[in-house]
Chain A
Amino acid sequence: MNIHEYQAKALFEKFGIAVPKGTTATTPEAFITALADLPEGPTMVKSQIHAGGRGKGTFTNGFKGGVKFCKTKQDALEIAGKMLGNTLVTAQTGPAGRKVQTIYFTVASEIKKEYYLAILLDRNSSKPVIVASTEGGMDIETVAHDTPEKLFKVIVDPAYGLADFQVRELITKLGLTGVEAKNAGKLIRNLYQCYWETDAAMIEVNPLITTPTGDVLALDAKVSFDSNALYRHPEIVALRDLNEEDSKEIEASKYSLSYIALDGNIACLVNGAGLAMSTMDIIQHFGGTPANFLDVGGGATKAQVIAAFKIILGDKNVKGILVNIFGGIMDCNVIATGIVEAVKEVGLTLPLVVRLEGNNVVAGKATLDASGLALISGSTMADAAQKIVKLVA
């Protein structure tokens, strides 16, 4: 689960991580009261959406930049009016962009130098890793590729936690001394505590900055959480912003369906994550484009299948549907009955290819054949994929 920058900064403050002072507003009327909380002088205006690349983004109304530096609060007021309620397109949002519904004003800090700091899971060691770099404010993948010697990693032993010597090692490699070193050390320790205690999946601070007065601040904050752990963090669940999520994905989650919308025109309905992914792949292999990832799980019920069909058909780009079920333990006939009832209920007009395999498959296929529905059987994944690709071509 992702949260907004302003929410991440509020979380940081709870953990004693220094951030520039900031306030938010969700209506133009609230701009003035929000800005009244900040001191006079240079102010940042930041669009709040769950996507990176905001600074280089463009609004669909032509206004450039979702993050702006303003010399005065008066300028900030004017700029915020151009952002709020408008749709921001960045490298990460896709062409549709995201509507900006919250503006975050912060004091524009004086920057001495920018750094990069992140904490995430190191999959190779199955331990948390802290990644730091002297190249702040840049795309970290580029830094890793072009100048790997400027990227430093410390793997934390979860049995002990972050050790002081590891903090000193990071600070030394970042070239920080004196009061900067002291402040950075405190920030790194608190950031690790925040990562660990909130079950964060990743925390990224880019840039982390030093100021001429020796302060060390998190200028930006990107935080995501392990969705498996949300049950024990109601305070984090409360930060969820449904405006930032695909409405079809929200609907799917109500039925315990795992659904992700994509750009293609062939919808798929599959049981199992691995099979669902490879069903998308095989559609593409035969020249089609998948409209979604949809895993109905190992024990799909009729209600789930019906919900899945409705969600799929809610995507206007869909021109055909491929159902791929490997009924291992499940009775294929139960699934076939669910498909038939679902199709009858939602009134399907698009081509539908069904590939059914596994337990009691003969009865399942007979149910499909006897349904009178204009659905087409696929014998294997390859056969089914070729058929649906041909039908929508």
Chain B
Amino acid sequence: MAILITPSTKILVQGITGDFGGRHAKLSLDYGTQVVAGVTPGKGGLFFEHGTHQVPIFNSVADAVKATGATVSAVFVPPPFAADAILEGVDAGLDLVVAITEGIPVRDMVRVKRAMAGSKTRLLGPNCPGVVTPGTGKDSSGGCRIGIAPGYIHKNGHVGVVSRSGTLTYEAVFQLTSKNIGQTTCVGIGGDPVNGTSHLDIIKLFNADPETHGIILIGEIGGNAEVEAARWIKDHCTKPVAGFIAGATAPAGRRMGHAGAIVGGAEDTAAAKIAVFKECGIEVAVTPSDMADALLRSAKAKGVTLT
């Protein structure tokens, strides 16, 4: 088992005819992911071709869902149109919408999140690398890759990874795979201040997943999502958890690349979050090079096998 997606999940790509969406749709197909449809308004009836793959393109998400049974969408459309694309996926009743797009206005996301209240759809992102459930083939192929993460660095196994940042997720996954420790699912929740799924949402899913034996939680300065997740872990999670917070050296009030990575007060600094992690029994990685080792320390202390 894994969380959110499995190798048999059928996905559609909104914005498949754009450069960015098309490039990553091809990489997902190469990885063995079931990319069953593309959506570009006005291009319905055409096909997205890659090697032996012929992926049908539809004018709307609803049409694509009806024809192919896709349950998950990857959104690659440009920022001015991304909020609309997300809501179209929600309206079509998808289980999961993964918004890769970076640079969506905050006000648009405030409205999207409000409009999604009560719907069955989960939103991951925006401004996120996506989600990967590694497969059992060569270089973890045969898995489900949604988004922009490099598939080959993964390995099928028992560790869950959740992070705001793309490259920092890859760093953690690479460390794990280098130590022959595989992953159940690796989730990027995105670097924006308003996102669909929080650290805590993903931690709860990992905690409930019997295949996940340990968790790496990667956070940043700004907001209190990491603190919220840590407090829940203290009360409910018995699995080993390692944590890292980026941004210890970031000056207050400056946006560090991600719109959400900005220190607003005494509560959302790296030092404050790390202190809460320690208090909640999370093994803190002292440097980003230490993430996999930190999880190994926690697993050893709890007598849990990660491989």
Which residues of A does B touch, CB under 8 Å? 92, 121, 123-124, 126-128, 141, 144-145, 157-159, 196, 199, 201, 226-229, 231-232, 258, 260, 262, 270-285, 290, 293, 295, 298, 326, 328-329, 357-359, 380-383, 385
Contacts and interface: CB of A to CB of B under 8 A. Distances in A.
A281 B106 contact: no
A274 B80 contact: no
B4 interface: no
Given A231-B80, A274-B257, 10 more contacts: A228-B259, A232-B105, A271-B167, A274-B164, A274-B218, A276-B257, A293-B250, A380-B289, A381-B287, A383-B289
For the complex of A and B, 3 pairs with smallest distance between CB atoms: A274-B165, A273-B257, A272-B167
Contact of B79 (A141, A228, A271, A328): A228
A278 B246 contact: yes
11 contacts: A228-B105, A232-B105, A260-B254, A273-B256, A274-B166, A275-B288, A277-B256, A279-B288, A281-B288, A328-B166, A382-B287
Contact of A123 (B27, B223, B256): B223
Contact of B165 (A144, A275, A293): A275
A276 to B, nearest CB: 6
Nearest to A52: B253
Contacts of A157: 114
B229 interface: no
Interface in B239-281: 244, 246-251, 253-254, 256-261, 265-266, 270
A368 B138 CA distance: 29
Nearest to B259: A228
B91 interface: no
A228 B191 CA distance: 13
A196 B115 CA distance: 17
Contacts of B153: 328, 358
Contacts of B163: 274
B129 to A, nearest CB: 8
A96 B185 CA distance: 48
Contacts of B169: 274
B99 to A, nearest CB: 13
A157 B113 CA distance: 11
Nearest to A328: B150
A59 B274 CA distance: 39
Given A126-B109, A226-B106, A277-B256, A358 B170 contact: yes
Interface in B184-230: 191, 193-194, 218, 220-225
Contact of A284 (B171, B223, B244, B248): B248
B289 A382 contact: yes
Contact of B105 (A141, A199, A295): A199
A226 B80 CA distance: 14
Given A328-B149, A329-B27, A201 B106 contact: yes
A277 B167 contact: no
A124 B265 CA distance: 14
A159 B116 CA distance: 11
A280 to B, nearest CB: 4
Contacts of A201: 106
Contacts of A231: 79-80
Nearest to A290: B249
A326 B225 CA distance: 26
Nearest to B248: A281
B170 A121 contact: no
A271 B246 CA distance: 14
Contacts of B148: 298, 328-329
Interface string B19-60: 000000001000000000000000000000000000000000
Q: Which of B27, B174, B249, B256 gathers most chain A CB within 10 Å?
A: B249
A252 to B, nearest CB: 11
A275 B171 contact: yes
A279 B246 CA distance: 9
Interface in B79-111: 79-80, 103-111
B150 A158 contact: no
Interface of B: 27, 79-80, 103-111, 113-115, 148-150, 152-153, 163-171, 174, 191, 193-194, 218, 220-225, 244, 246-251, 253-254, 256-261, 265-266, 270, 286-290
A229 B106 contact: yes
B98 to A, nearest CB: 16
A123 B18 CA distance: 32
Given A272-B165, A273-B256, A381 B150 contact: no
Nearest to B164: A274
Contact of B250 (A275, A277, A382): A277
Contacts of B223: 123-124
A383 B193 CA distance: 33
* Residue of B110, B221, B258 with highest tally of chain A CB at under 10 A: B110
Contacts of B266: 141, 145
A383 B105 CA distance: 39
Contact of B193 (A123, A276, A278, A357): A123
Contact of A277 (B79, B111, B152, B220): B220
A323 to B, nearest CB: 13
A273 B191 contact: yes
A123 B194 contact: yes
B110 A158 contact: yes
Contacts of A126: 109-110, 113-114, 194
Nearest to A157: B114
Contacts of B110: 121, 126-128, 158
Given A121-B194, A274-B166, A277-B247, A293 B105 contact: no
Contacts of A144: 265
B166 A272 contact: yes
A191 B30 CA distance: 52
Contacts of B80: 231-232
Nearest to A285: B287
B150 A358 contact: yes
A326 B148 CA distance: 13
Contact of A274 (B106, B174, B220): B220
A329 B106 CA distance: 28
A276 B253 CA distance: 17
